[in-house]
Chains A and B, each alone.
Chain A
Amino acid sequence: MLLSARGIGKHYGPVEVLRDVSLSVRAGEIRALCGENGAGKSTLVKIITGNQPADSGEITIDGVVATIRSPADAQKLGIALVSQELSLAPNLSVLDNIWLGNETVPLWHRRRALAERARAALDEVGLEGLRLDRQVGTLGIGRQQLVEVARMLTRDARILILDEPTATLSDVEIAHVFEALRRLRARGHAIIYITHRLGEVFEVCDSVSVLRNGALVGDAATGAIDRAGLISAMLGRELGELYPPPRAAPADGRPALSVRALAVPDMVHGIDFSARAGSLTCLAGQIGSGVTEALRALCGLNEAATGEFTIGGRRVPLRSVGRARAAGVRFISENRAGEGIFLRLTIAENLLCGQLRRFSRGGLLRRRAMRTIAGELAAAVAVRPARLDVVAADLSGGNQQKLAFGRIIDGAMPGVLLMNEPTRGVDVGARAEIYRLVRRFCDEGWCVVMASSDLEEVMGLADEVITLYRGRVVRQVGRAAVTMHGLLADITQQQAA
């Protein structure tokens, strides 16, 4: 065994987050690490990479007990992490970022030799066209992730840990990451791969470890377990139907929302589409296809957007959040921590903060009414009302996302709900709840439009799918006509293999 962690235990205060967890990985093996949010995956990774001390247990590398007290220790032992939160300095160049924090770079160094090795690593992850002096902050999140993978390659790490590397990537970029991983496996690296996307476990991994509530509940070769088995190991129960059934009767034919010639400089080049009330329309496309930018523009969040946007025949001005809201547009951002909820406020404060006018009299807040409504809203989005005073930062990704949904319900008439990647970073169990919630909004008459790069989700959920490629609409198809093959071909403009 290249890396072997045995009997790892960890407490945060009185809460036991890891209990006697063991995990090992051989050279030339990709091991998936699965579990719902809060299962303890991140903590285990932090311990292996020296970002957190363990309370008990030991880690051996090549059979030798290793002391890992800091990220620098881990790096010396050949352990490298590509975290979900990127570790790139946005103000530095690609070249500087690749060598940032590398213990082998001398204090005074010649940059040319470093540049050559950085170039080779970038080529290996499919970033052939990327200039070394490009400032990292100007790159999209997908390319930043690949720069991180390239950084690991230059560190000659033998044990690579990837924490949900594909959560924010498009399919083509994911293919690049997988290619890089397979190459690294062939060279004898050991890889621990954390993911919420079960398909990836079977596509790229050799074995899988499953954590639940801080304990190891499964350890198997991927050939010896199936998808259902994996899900029930993660949840500790059978997952009902992940996707709720579509509306039996098709929504009435009148388009609630129509978009003409929507354009955002460099991103969206004149797209047209319409969506019906009571139905769920998915905009599907890779990162860079313009799906997220298009929805942001409709919410008034892009200052340079142009085009015609009407709801129920009434024109909604672009480039103003206030007017979009007044017209009944509500938005759930892909950036939950930054734009979705207030991490430092409590559940109750989060739910009500957008609608305080409803509870004010003469400028003073009516606390009792607030409490009642907050409880109702929490119940409506399946958050336990007993937890109203819990701070949002302490919630799982899934529960945080439910709060974002709860904030939208403000007593206004059903309007237009626009969502970008609503299940990003949300585990399987909470996903099902979010999907049911989305369907409920539809049933109440909302016109829901959602951008997603997760094709499985699009297939399972959408009543209508609009595919985009490089800022233009490829196709608008009804649920019945949607195939995985067709979607993939649309959004990549290549014959899917």
Chain B
Amino acid sequence: MMALCRNAFARDLRPYTLLGIVIVIVGVIDHGTGFFFRGATLFSIMQIFATYGLVSLAVGLSLLVREFDISVAGMVSLAGAVAVLAGARDPWLGVGLALLVGLVGGAAQGLIITRLGLGSVGVTLGGLLSFQGLTYVLTGNQSISFDHVELALALNAPIGVVLSVRSMIVIAAFVLAAVVMQFSRVGRDILATGGDRRASTMAGVNTGGIVFGVFAASGLLCALSGVVLSYGLAAASPAALSDVLAPAAAGAIIGGVSVVGGRGRPAGIAAGVLVLCVLRSGLNAAGASADMLDIATGLVLLLIAVLDAPELARRLTEWRLHRRGA
């Protein structure tokens, strides 16, 4: 029983355990009203997942190589604005241009970080402000609407009760990331780079290329997220999702990504984001305010930090020895 508990809270399984626990708790709070287990609620959970999932994946990838991409919120807004502006006549042109902006923006940050050997926090903070500034310039600091409302409706139309095109795009991106991480050499190299960059370089891994690629991929994922969001809302706002970084990072960390790099999986990140989505949906259903969600998220993160603490492990060992009377 003890061993089972320990395994369930070991890093690899923890996101799923937490997801289960959160579902049970929300179910209990909900008790009997049946609100939570309605199809509409599940649909809305997946819609929230579609909003945060890709950004969380992007942040998670950067954490995997022991970096931190702060610029995600800026890139989401910028790509959203580019897509809406450039896609006024041909939506596909908007998609292409927005993804290109994401790729180039991410690659530029990756290049600065690897070539100049700078810390990612500083560089991507600069990226965040630049992308945000560009968005304000492009949009004239106001929300701009997207005329293809039929596209927004199509993106959000329920498919099989809980899914939509929007959420399926995000799920597809997660599946792709999971396949790359699990079955390709690049996946191993990413984990190795995050685990010990010097050792990986010595072993022959092109760690500079890996870090560069991760930032380019992060930019691309954020751009995709921005496109899907702005097309889904039929509008782009310079302030859209400006506070996405905290929940995105929280999702990745709850999802088992180590903040010191080298550990974590896309499937875990998905579960971590779902924990937040379920919490939010459950709290909404219970009539709690949005602040409650922040507090609940904070408590979950705190729990995880405590579970990871070496100090706790030490004290538990001491306590066990003490009980044994040694």
Known: A85-B198, A90-B195, A306-B326. A100 touches B321 (CB 8 A): no
A434 contacts chain B at the CB level, 8 A cutoff: no
A71 contacts chain B at the CB level, 8 A cutoff: yes
B293 contacts chain A at the CB level, 8 A cutoff: no
CB distance from A30 to the nearest CB of B (A): 22
Q: In the complex the two chains form, is B203's CB within 8 Å of A72's CB?
A: no
Q: How large is the interface on A (under 10, 10 to 19, 20 to 34, 35 or more residues)?
A: 20 to 34
B188 contacts chain A at the CB level, 8 A cutoff: yes
Which residues on B sit within 8 Å (CB–CB) of A75?
204
CB-CB contacts below 8 Å: A93-117 with B: 96-97, 99-103, 105-109
Q: In the complex the two chains form, is A100's CB within 8 Å of B184's CB?
A: no
Q: Which residue of A81, A105, A306 is within 8 Å of B202 (Cβ)?
A: A81
Which residues on A sit within 8 Å (CB–CB) of B263?
91
Known: A91-B263, A109-B185. A71 touches B202 (CB 8 A): yes
B40 contacts chain A at the CB level, 8 A cutoff: no
CB distance from A104 to the nearest CB of B (A): 10
Q: Which residue of B188, B198, B262 is within 8 Å of A100 (Cβ)?
A: B188
Q: Which residue of A101, A106, A304 is within 8 Å of B321 (Cβ)?
A: A304
B199 contacts chain A at the CB level, 8 A cutoff: yes
Q: How far is it, in angstroms, between the C-alpha of A235 and the C-alpha of B322 when the chains are bound? A: 54
Q: Which residue of B191, B262, B314, B321 is within 8 Å of A306 (Cβ)?
A: B321
Q: How far is it, in angstroms, between the C-alpha of A92 and the C-alpha of B194 when the chains are bound? A: 10
Which residues on A sit within 8 Å (CB–CB) of B242?
none
A139 contacts chain B at the CB level, 8 A cutoff: no
Q: In the complex the two chains form, is B206's CB within 8 Å of A72's CB?
A: yes
Q: How far is it, in angstroms, between the C-alpha of A81 and the C-alpha of B199 when the chains are bound? A: 12
Q: How far is it, in angstroms, between the C-alpha of A97 and the C-alpha of B185 when the chains are bound? A: 12
Q: How far is it, in angstroms, between the C-alpha of A89 and the C-alpha of B186 when the chains are bound? A: 14
A492 contacts chain B at the CB level, 8 A cutoff: no
Q: In the complex the two chains form, is A106's CB within 8 Å of B185's CB?
A: yes
CB distance from A265 to the nearest CB of B (A): 8
Which residues on A sit within 8 Å (CB–CB) of B185?
105-109
Known: A71-B204, A87-B199. A96 touches B317 (CB 8 A): no
CB-CB contacts below 8 Å: A43-98 with B: 51, 71-72, 75, 81, 83, 85-92, 96-97
A303 contacts chain B at the CB level, 8 A cutoff: yes
Question: Main secondary structure on chain A at its contact with chain B?
Answer: loop
Q: How far is it, in angstroms, between the C-alpha of A90 and the C-alpha of B263 when the chains are bound? A: 11
Q: In the complex the two chains form, is B191's CB within 8 Å of A88's CB?
A: no
Q: In the complex the two chains form, is B204's CB within 8 Å of A91's CB?
A: no
B189 contacts chain A at the CB level, 8 A cutoff: yes
Q: How far is it, in angstroms, between the C-alpha of A103 and the C-alpha of B206 when the chains are bound? A: 10
Q: How far is it, in angstroms, between the C-alpha of A87 and the C-alpha of B192 when the chains are bound? A: 10
Known: A71-B204, A100-B205, A108-B183. A89 touches B321 (CB 8 A): no
Q: Mark B169-198, 1 if CB is under 8 A from A, else 0.
A: 000000000000001111011011011101
Q: How far is it, in angstroms, between the C-alpha of A17 and the C-alpha of B317 when the chains are bound? A: 50
Residue of B nearest to A100 (CB): B203
Q: In the complex the two chains form, is A89's CB within 8 Å of B196's CB?
A: yes
Q: How far is it, in angstroms, between the C-alpha of A105 and the C-alpha of B203 when the chains are bound? A: 13
Q: In the complex the two chains form, is B201's CB within 8 Å of A71's CB?
A: yes
Q: In the complex the two chains form, is B317's CB within 8 Å of A303's CB?
A: yes
Q: How far is it, in angstroms, between the C-alpha of A100 and the C-alpha of B196 when the chains are bound? A: 12
Which residues on B sit within 8 Å (CB–CB) of A81?
202
Q: How far is it, in angstroms, between the C-alpha of A71 and the C-alpha of B203 when the chains are bound? A: 8
Residue of A nearest to B313 (CB): A303
CB-CB contacts below 8 Å: B240-273 with A: 262-263
Which residues on B sit within 8 Å (CB–CB) of A303?
314, 317-318
Residue of B nearest to A304 (CB): B317
Residue of B nearest to A82 (CB): B202
Which residues on A sit within 8 Å (CB–CB) of B200?
87, 89, 100-101
Known: A108-B183, A304-B317. A89 touches B262 (CB 8 A): yes
Q: Which residue of B184, B202, B206, B314 is within 8 Å of A85 (Cβ)?
A: B202
Give 9 closest A-B pairs by Cβ, nearest first.
Answer: A101-B204, A87-B202, A91-B195, A101-B203, A89-B192, A91-B262, A89-B195, A87-B203, A101-B205
Known contacts A90-B262, A97-B203; 8 further A-B pairs (Cβ under 8 A) = A87-B199, A88-B196, A89-B195, A89-B199, A90-B195, A102-B204, A109-B183, A304-B321
